[in-house]
Amino acid sequence: MRLLGGPTGIPVVSGMADPVFAGTTLNQITIGEFTDHLHPQLGLTTLWGYRDTMTTVQQQRHLGGVIIAARGTANRIRFTNTLPATHILPVDTTIPGANQEQDPREKR
């Protein structure tokens, strides 16, 4: 992943020629959990974010990188989910209609 505007810039996902579909750019993105300092006076915070799977840099980003694509060029994005099974936020069961038996974010 390269950064636009230097080391603190916007990350750009690095695509490659797709081995399956000719004339297509393949972008691979991993979704995972990581920790980061959000403020100098606070400890580490657990976050979920994205990283470019195709680089050796394991740096996660809160919002992920951008994909630069040319008009008329096909792009394929492959996401790999490495998130933990338990959600980072608890379910608020005080909301009317919230199911207290099962987390609504879980697959059924």
How many structural domains are present in the chain? 1
Residue 78: pLDDT above 60?
yes
What average pLDDT does the segment 95-106 reach? 63
Q: Which domain holds residue 15?
A: 2-29+50-81
Q: Is residue 12 part of a domain?
A: yes
Q: Is residue 105 part of a domain?
A: no
Residue 53: pLDDT above 70?
yes
Least confident of 5-9, 10-14, 69-73, 78-82: 5-9
Q: Is residue 92 part of a domain?
A: no
Contact 1, 53 (CB under 8 A): no
pLDDT at residue number 101: 60
Q: Band the pLDDT of 59: cuts 50, 70, 90.
A: low
Instruction: List all residues 6 or more positions away from 73 whose beta carbon is below 8 Å from its beta carbon.
Output: 23, 24, 25
Tell which wins on pLDDT, 105 or 88.
88
Residue 20: pLDDT above 60?
yes
Q: Across the chain, which distance is largest between two alpha carbons, in Å?
A: 52
What average pLDDT does the segment 61-86 reach? 86
pLDDT at residue number 106: 61
| Residue in the structure block whose two tokens are 């992943």 | 1
* This prediction's pTM: 0.70
Q: Is residue 9 part of a domain?
A: yes
Q: Is residue 39 part of a domain?
A: no
Q: How far is CA 90 from the centre of its chain?
A: 20
Q: Is residue 16 part of a domain?
A: yes
